[in-house]
Amino acid sequence: MEKLQALCVLSDSHGRLNPEELTHVIEEAPDPSSAVSTILNYLPGHSEVLGRTWRKVVFDLWSEQHPHIPLLLDLPITSTEVLDVPAIQDALYALRQFSRHPGQLQREGSEWLLTPDDAYDLASNLPSRRGHPLIPLENEWQSLRLRRLRTTLQALRLLRRQQEQLVVVKSRYQRFLELPASQQYYLLWHTDVYHTNWAQFGSIWGEYLNVIQACVPLLWDLSEAALPNVSYHIRRWNQDIWDTFAPLWDHEGLLSRRQPDSILLSFVRTQSVPYAVTQVVMRDLLEHYGLVVNEGEHYHWTPLGTRLTAAERTQEMPCALDLLK
Protein backbone atom coordinates (compact mmCIF):
# COMPACT_ATOMS: atom_id res chain seq x y z
CA MET A 1 0.00 0.00 0.00
CA GLU A 2 2.86 2.38 0.78
CA LYS A 3 4.34 1.81 -2.68
CA LEU A 4 0.97 2.58 -4.24
CA GLN A 5 0.61 5.80 -2.27
CA ALA A 6 4.12 6.90 -3.19
CA LEU A 7 3.49 6.12 -6.87
CA CYS A 8 0.23 8.09 -6.79
CA VAL A 9 2.11 11.12 -5.47
CA LEU A 10 4.80 10.71 -8.13
CA SER A 11 2.34 10.26 -11.00
CA ASP A 12 -0.51 12.60 -10.11
CA SER A 13 0.19 16.32 -10.28
CA HIS A 14 -3.49 17.20 -9.81
CA GLY A 15 -4.31 15.01 -6.83
CA ARG A 16 -6.92 12.96 -8.71
CA LEU A 17 -5.61 9.50 -7.84
CA ASN A 18 -7.04 7.95 -4.70
CA PRO A 19 -4.98 5.00 -3.38
CA GLU A 20 -8.01 3.44 -1.66
CA GLU A 21 -10.07 3.55 -4.87
CA LEU A 22 -7.17 2.18 -6.91
CA THR A 23 -6.77 -0.67 -4.44
CA HIS A 24 -10.40 -1.58 -5.05
CA VAL A 25 -9.89 -1.37 -8.84
CA ILE A 26 -6.91 -3.72 -8.59
CA GLU A 27 -8.75 -6.20 -6.39
CA GLU A 28 -11.81 -6.34 -8.67
CA ALA A 29 -9.86 -6.68 -11.92
CA PRO A 30 -9.95 -10.16 -13.52
CA ASP A 31 -6.16 -10.16 -13.97
CA PRO A 32 -3.17 -7.87 -13.35
CA SER A 33 -2.96 -6.63 -16.95
CA SER A 34 -6.59 -5.49 -16.85
CA ALA A 35 -5.87 -3.58 -13.64
CA VAL A 36 -2.82 -1.93 -15.19
CA SER A 37 -4.77 -0.97 -18.31
CA THR A 38 -7.56 0.60 -16.25
CA ILE A 39 -5.21 2.58 -14.04
CA LEU A 40 -3.01 3.84 -16.87
CA ASN A 41 -6.13 5.28 -18.50
CA TYR A 42 -6.12 7.73 -15.58
CA LEU A 43 -2.65 8.86 -16.61
CA PRO A 44 -2.73 10.26 -20.15
CA GLY A 45 0.72 10.91 -21.56
CA HIS A 46 2.51 8.74 -18.99
CA SER A 47 6.10 7.82 -19.78
CA GLU A 48 7.26 4.29 -20.60
CA VAL A 49 9.31 4.17 -17.41
CA LEU A 50 6.31 5.22 -15.32
CA GLY A 51 4.15 2.64 -17.06
CA ARG A 52 6.62 -0.15 -16.22
CA THR A 53 6.73 0.99 -12.58
CA TRP A 54 2.94 0.97 -12.34
CA ARG A 55 2.82 -2.46 -13.96
CA LYS A 56 5.17 -3.95 -11.37
CA VAL A 57 3.38 -2.39 -8.41
CA VAL A 58 -0.08 -3.36 -9.65
CA PHE A 59 1.04 -6.88 -10.51
CA ASP A 60 2.41 -7.39 -7.00
CA LEU A 61 -0.69 -5.93 -5.33
CA TRP A 62 -3.09 -8.01 -7.43
CA SER A 63 -1.16 -11.18 -6.57
CA GLU A 64 -1.20 -10.31 -2.86
CA GLN A 65 -4.98 -9.81 -2.99
CA HIS A 66 -5.54 -13.15 -4.72
CA PRO A 67 -3.34 -15.58 -2.74
CA HIS A 68 -5.41 -18.62 -3.80
CA ILE A 69 -4.37 -18.20 -7.44
CA PRO A 70 -1.16 -20.00 -8.52
CA LEU A 71 1.94 -18.08 -9.50
CA LEU A 72 1.13 -15.74 -12.41
CA LEU A 73 3.04 -14.79 -15.53
CA ASP A 74 3.41 -11.11 -16.40
CA LEU A 75 1.63 -10.94 -19.76
CA PRO A 76 0.68 -8.10 -22.14
CA ILE A 77 -2.87 -9.43 -22.57
CA THR A 78 -6.09 -9.11 -20.60
CA SER A 79 -8.77 -11.63 -19.75
CA THR A 80 -11.50 -9.59 -21.39
CA GLU A 81 -9.98 -9.81 -24.85
CA VAL A 82 -9.37 -13.58 -24.79
CA LEU A 83 -12.59 -14.86 -23.20
CA ASP A 84 -14.27 -15.47 -26.56
CA VAL A 85 -11.20 -16.64 -28.47
CA PRO A 86 -11.98 -20.01 -30.14
CA ALA A 87 -8.86 -21.72 -28.74
CA ILE A 88 -9.77 -21.13 -25.11
CA GLN A 89 -13.47 -21.85 -25.67
CA ASP A 90 -12.65 -25.20 -27.29
CA ALA A 91 -10.18 -26.12 -24.57
CA LEU A 92 -12.55 -25.35 -21.71
CA TYR A 93 -15.36 -27.27 -23.40
CA ALA A 94 -13.18 -30.32 -24.03
CA LEU A 95 -11.84 -30.35 -20.47
CA ARG A 96 -15.36 -30.11 -19.04
CA GLN A 97 -16.48 -33.03 -21.18
CA PHE A 98 -13.52 -35.22 -20.29
CA SER A 99 -13.92 -34.39 -16.59
CA ARG A 100 -17.52 -35.64 -16.76
CA HIS A 101 -17.00 -38.58 -19.10
CA PRO A 102 -13.49 -39.91 -19.83
CA GLY A 103 -12.84 -40.43 -23.53
CA GLN A 104 -12.78 -44.02 -24.73
CA LEU A 105 -9.58 -44.99 -26.54
CA GLN A 106 -8.70 -47.73 -28.96
CA ARG A 107 -5.32 -48.86 -30.22
CA GLU A 108 -4.56 -48.21 -33.88
CA GLY A 109 -1.01 -49.16 -34.80
CA SER A 110 1.28 -47.35 -32.37
CA GLU A 111 -1.36 -44.78 -31.34
CA TRP A 112 -4.19 -44.62 -28.85
CA LEU A 113 -7.03 -42.77 -30.58
CA LEU A 114 -10.44 -41.70 -29.39
CA THR A 115 -13.13 -44.06 -30.61
CA PRO A 116 -14.97 -42.72 -33.68
CA ASP A 117 -18.15 -42.08 -31.67
CA ASP A 118 -16.36 -40.12 -28.94
CA ALA A 119 -14.27 -38.23 -31.48
CA TYR A 120 -17.35 -37.26 -33.47
CA ASP A 121 -19.37 -36.18 -30.42
CA LEU A 122 -16.55 -33.97 -29.20
CA ALA A 123 -15.48 -32.56 -32.59
CA SER A 124 -19.01 -31.69 -33.69
CA ASN A 125 -19.72 -29.82 -30.45
CA LEU A 126 -16.53 -27.78 -30.13
CA PRO A 127 -17.59 -24.11 -29.90
CA SER A 128 -15.40 -23.19 -32.86
CA ARG A 129 -17.08 -25.85 -35.06
CA ARG A 130 -20.72 -25.38 -34.17
CA GLY A 131 -22.72 -24.60 -37.26
CA HIS A 132 -20.23 -26.47 -39.43
CA PRO A 133 -21.71 -29.87 -40.36
CA LEU A 134 -19.30 -32.73 -39.72
CA ILE A 135 -19.49 -36.07 -41.48
CA PRO A 136 -19.17 -39.18 -39.29
CA LEU A 137 -15.56 -39.90 -38.39
CA GLU A 138 -13.85 -43.20 -39.05
CA ASN A 139 -10.71 -41.98 -37.27
CA GLU A 140 -9.84 -39.17 -34.84
CA TRP A 141 -7.34 -37.79 -37.38
CA GLN A 142 -10.24 -36.82 -39.65
CA SER A 143 -10.82 -33.85 -37.34
CA LEU A 144 -7.48 -32.05 -37.20
CA ARG A 145 -8.99 -29.35 -34.97
CA LEU A 146 -9.84 -31.95 -32.34
CA ARG A 147 -6.59 -33.83 -32.75
CA ARG A 148 -4.50 -30.68 -32.35
CA LEU A 149 -6.50 -29.61 -29.31
CA ARG A 150 -6.10 -33.03 -27.67
CA THR A 151 -2.35 -33.01 -28.40
CA THR A 152 -1.99 -29.55 -26.84
CA LEU A 153 -3.94 -30.49 -23.71
CA GLN A 154 -1.87 -33.63 -23.27
CA ALA A 155 1.39 -31.71 -23.75
CA LEU A 156 0.16 -29.31 -21.05
CA ARG A 157 -0.51 -32.42 -18.93
CA LEU A 158 -4.16 -31.56 -18.41
CA LEU A 159 -5.12 -34.85 -20.05
CA ARG A 160 -3.46 -38.25 -19.89
CA ARG A 161 -4.14 -41.79 -20.99
CA GLN A 162 -5.19 -44.16 -18.23
CA GLN A 163 -5.43 -47.66 -19.67
CA GLU A 164 -8.10 -47.36 -22.38
CA GLN A 165 -9.45 -43.98 -21.32
CA LEU A 166 -8.44 -40.35 -21.78
CA VAL A 167 -8.91 -38.64 -18.41
CA VAL A 168 -8.43 -35.19 -16.90
CA VAL A 169 -5.49 -34.74 -14.51
CA LYS A 170 -7.61 -33.38 -11.68
CA SER A 171 -4.99 -31.46 -9.70
CA ARG A 172 -3.64 -29.60 -12.74
CA TYR A 173 -7.14 -29.02 -14.11
CA GLN A 174 -8.19 -27.42 -10.81
CA ARG A 175 -5.17 -25.10 -10.88
CA PHE A 176 -5.94 -24.27 -14.50
CA LEU A 177 -9.50 -23.27 -13.62
CA GLU A 178 -8.22 -21.03 -10.80
CA LEU A 179 -6.16 -18.96 -13.23
CA PRO A 180 -7.48 -15.80 -14.92
CA ALA A 181 -8.52 -16.32 -18.53
CA SER A 182 -5.45 -14.45 -19.79
CA GLN A 183 -3.18 -16.96 -18.06
CA GLN A 184 -5.20 -19.94 -19.32
CA TYR A 185 -4.96 -18.52 -22.82
CA TYR A 186 -1.20 -18.09 -22.63
CA LEU A 187 -0.71 -21.63 -21.33
CA LEU A 188 -2.57 -22.98 -24.36
CA TRP A 189 -0.83 -20.63 -26.79
CA HIS A 190 2.67 -21.34 -25.52
CA THR A 191 2.11 -25.09 -25.51
CA ASP A 192 0.59 -25.11 -29.00
CA VAL A 193 3.44 -23.02 -30.42
CA TYR A 194 6.47 -24.52 -28.70
CA HIS A 195 5.54 -27.96 -27.38
CA THR A 196 3.20 -29.34 -30.05
CA ASN A 197 4.70 -30.71 -33.25
CA TRP A 198 3.04 -28.88 -36.15
CA ALA A 199 4.39 -31.34 -38.71
CA GLN A 200 1.94 -34.04 -37.63
CA PHE A 201 -0.91 -31.80 -38.81
CA GLY A 202 0.78 -30.86 -42.08
CA SER A 203 0.44 -34.06 -44.13
CA ILE A 204 2.99 -34.07 -46.98
CA TRP A 205 4.16 -30.58 -45.96
CA GLY A 206 5.31 -31.66 -42.50
CA GLU A 207 9.01 -31.15 -43.21
CA TYR A 208 8.36 -27.57 -44.29
CA LEU A 209 6.44 -26.90 -41.09
CA ASN A 210 9.27 -28.41 -39.04
CA VAL A 211 11.58 -25.72 -40.41
CA ILE A 212 9.11 -22.93 -39.61
CA GLN A 213 8.54 -24.15 -36.06
CA ALA A 214 12.28 -24.55 -35.46
CA CYS A 215 12.76 -20.91 -36.53
CA VAL A 216 9.49 -19.54 -35.14
CA PRO A 217 10.99 -16.12 -34.15
CA LEU A 218 11.17 -15.42 -37.89
CA LEU A 219 7.41 -15.90 -37.99
CA TRP A 220 6.91 -13.18 -35.38
CA ASP A 221 9.17 -10.87 -37.40
CA LEU A 222 6.63 -10.97 -40.25
CA SER A 223 4.15 -9.04 -38.09
CA GLU A 224 6.62 -6.37 -36.96
CA ALA A 225 5.25 -3.68 -39.29
CA ALA A 226 1.63 -4.85 -39.13
CA LEU A 227 -1.00 -2.46 -37.78
CA PRO A 228 -4.08 -3.74 -35.95
CA ASN A 229 -7.40 -3.69 -37.83
CA VAL A 230 -5.75 -2.87 -41.17
CA SER A 231 -6.69 -5.21 -44.03
CA TYR A 232 -3.90 -7.12 -45.80
CA HIS A 233 -4.12 -9.53 -48.73
CA ILE A 234 -3.34 -13.14 -47.88
CA ARG A 235 -1.04 -13.34 -50.91
CA ARG A 236 1.21 -10.78 -49.26
CA TRP A 237 1.55 -13.03 -46.23
CA ASN A 238 2.18 -16.03 -48.47
CA GLN A 239 4.95 -14.16 -50.27
CA ASP A 240 6.51 -13.05 -46.97
CA ILE A 241 6.48 -16.67 -45.77
CA TRP A 242 8.16 -17.81 -48.99
CA ASP A 243 10.80 -15.06 -48.97
CA THR A 244 11.62 -15.75 -45.31
CA PHE A 245 11.70 -19.54 -45.24
CA ALA A 246 12.58 -20.59 -48.80
CA PRO A 247 16.34 -20.22 -48.15
CA LEU A 248 15.96 -22.44 -45.08
CA TRP A 249 13.85 -24.98 -46.95
CA ASP A 250 16.42 -24.98 -49.73
CA HIS A 251 19.23 -25.48 -47.21
CA GLU A 252 17.39 -28.58 -45.94
CA GLY A 253 17.07 -29.82 -49.53
CA LEU A 254 13.28 -29.59 -49.52
CA LEU A 255 13.04 -27.48 -52.67
CA SER A 256 15.32 -29.67 -54.74
CA ARG A 257 14.48 -33.13 -53.43
CA ARG A 258 13.02 -35.38 -56.11
CA GLN A 259 11.98 -39.01 -55.95
CA PRO A 260 12.17 -40.94 -59.27
CA ASP A 261 8.64 -42.26 -58.92
CA SER A 262 7.06 -39.07 -57.58
CA ILE A 263 8.39 -36.12 -59.57
CA LEU A 264 4.88 -34.78 -60.06
CA LEU A 265 4.07 -35.14 -56.35
CA SER A 266 7.29 -33.32 -55.42
CA PHE A 267 6.40 -30.49 -57.79
CA VAL A 268 2.85 -30.21 -56.45
CA ARG A 269 4.08 -30.30 -52.87
CA THR A 270 6.57 -27.47 -53.44
CA GLN A 271 4.13 -25.28 -55.35
CA SER A 272 1.38 -25.70 -52.75
CA VAL A 273 3.52 -24.99 -49.68
CA PRO A 274 2.11 -21.44 -49.22
CA TYR A 275 -1.45 -22.79 -49.08
CA ALA A 276 -0.53 -25.51 -46.58
CA VAL A 277 1.27 -23.01 -44.35
CA THR A 278 -1.71 -20.68 -44.59
CA GLN A 279 -3.98 -23.43 -43.26
CA VAL A 280 -1.77 -24.84 -40.50
CA VAL A 281 -0.20 -21.58 -39.28
CA MET A 282 -2.51 -18.74 -40.30
CA ARG A 283 -5.89 -20.44 -39.88
CA ASP A 284 -5.28 -23.18 -37.29
CA LEU A 285 -2.93 -21.17 -35.08
CA LEU A 286 -3.04 -17.39 -35.52
CA GLU A 287 -6.74 -17.17 -36.35
CA HIS A 288 -7.76 -19.82 -33.82
CA TYR A 289 -6.00 -17.88 -31.06
CA GLY A 290 -7.55 -14.57 -32.09
CA LEU A 291 -4.36 -12.97 -33.41
CA VAL A 292 -5.77 -12.46 -36.90
CA VAL A 293 -9.26 -12.28 -38.41
CA ASN A 294 -9.99 -14.01 -41.69
CA GLU A 295 -11.69 -11.89 -44.36
CA GLY A 296 -11.68 -14.32 -47.28
CA GLU A 297 -8.73 -13.32 -49.44
CA HIS A 298 -7.79 -10.70 -46.86
CA TYR A 299 -7.02 -10.75 -43.15
CA HIS A 300 -6.22 -8.26 -40.42
CA TRP A 301 -4.24 -8.44 -37.20
CA THR A 302 -6.10 -7.82 -33.97
CA PRO A 303 -4.70 -5.62 -31.18
CA LEU A 304 -4.17 -8.86 -29.23
CA GLY A 305 -2.21 -10.26 -32.15
CA THR A 306 0.13 -7.32 -32.58
CA ARG A 307 0.80 -7.12 -28.83
CA LEU A 308 1.39 -10.83 -28.30
CA THR A 309 3.69 -11.24 -31.31
CA ALA A 310 5.54 -8.06 -30.28
CA ALA A 311 6.08 -9.60 -26.84
CA GLU A 312 7.28 -12.85 -28.40
CA ARG A 313 9.62 -10.80 -30.57
CA THR A 314 11.05 -8.38 -28.04
CA GLN A 315 11.10 -10.10 -24.67
CA GLU A 316 11.85 -13.51 -23.25
CA MET A 317 8.41 -14.96 -22.76
CA PRO A 318 8.27 -17.59 -20.01
CA CYS A 319 7.79 -21.29 -20.58
CA ALA A 320 4.36 -22.14 -19.29
CA LEU A 321 4.47 -25.90 -18.86
CA ASP A 322 5.44 -25.84 -15.19
CA LEU A 323 2.96 -23.17 -14.08
CA LEU A 324 0.39 -25.73 -12.93
CA LYS A 325 2.65 -27.69 -10.57
Give the dihedral sign, CA 258/259/260/265. Answer: negative
Q: Say what the pLDDT of residue 212 is.
A: 96
- Compute the distance between CA of residue 252 and CA of residue 212 in angstroms, rounded to an integer: 12
- Compute the distance between CA of residue 37 and CA of residue 316 in angstroms, rounded to an integer: 21
- Compute the distance between CA of residue 69 and CA of residue 234 in angstroms, rounded to an integer: 41
- Compute the distance between CA of residue 300 and CA of residue 228 in angstroms, rounded to an integer: 7
Q: Say what the pLDDT of residue 126 is.
A: 95
Q: Say what the pLDDT of residue 236 is.
A: 92
Q: Say what the pLDDT of residue 262 is.
A: 66
- Compute the distance between CA of residue 289 and CA of residue 189 in angstroms, rounded to an integer: 7
Q: Say what the pLDDT of residue 121 is.
A: 94
Q: Say what the pLDDT of residue 74 is.
A: 78
Q: Say what the pLDDT of residue 291 is.
A: 97
- Alpha helix locations (H) across the chain? 2-11, 19-28, 32-40, 48-65, 79-82, 86-100, 116-125, 144-155, 170-178, 181-194, 206-214, 216-221, 234-251, 263-271, 273-277, 303-314
Q: Say what the pLDDT of residue 91 is.
A: 98
Low-confidence ranges of the chain (pLDDT < 70): 1-2, 12-17, 44-46, 68-71, 257-268, 320, 322-323, 325
- Compute the distance between CA of residue 167 and CA of residue 101 in angstroms, rounded to an integer: 8
The alpha-carbon radius of gyration of the chain (Å, integer) is 22
Q: Say what the pLDDT of residue 18 is.
A: 76
- Compute the distance between CA of residue 113 and CA of residue 103 in angstroms, rounded to an integer: 9
- Compute the distance between CA of residue 282 and CA of residue 301 in angstroms, rounded to an integer: 11
Q: Give which of 188, 180, 187 is closest to 59, Cα–Cα.
A: 180
Instruction: Out of 1.10.3470, 3.40.50, 3.50.50, 1.10.10, select the CATH number for domain 198-314.
Output: 1.10.10
**Cα torsion through 56, 57, 58, 64, rounded to 10:** 110
pTM of the model: 0.83
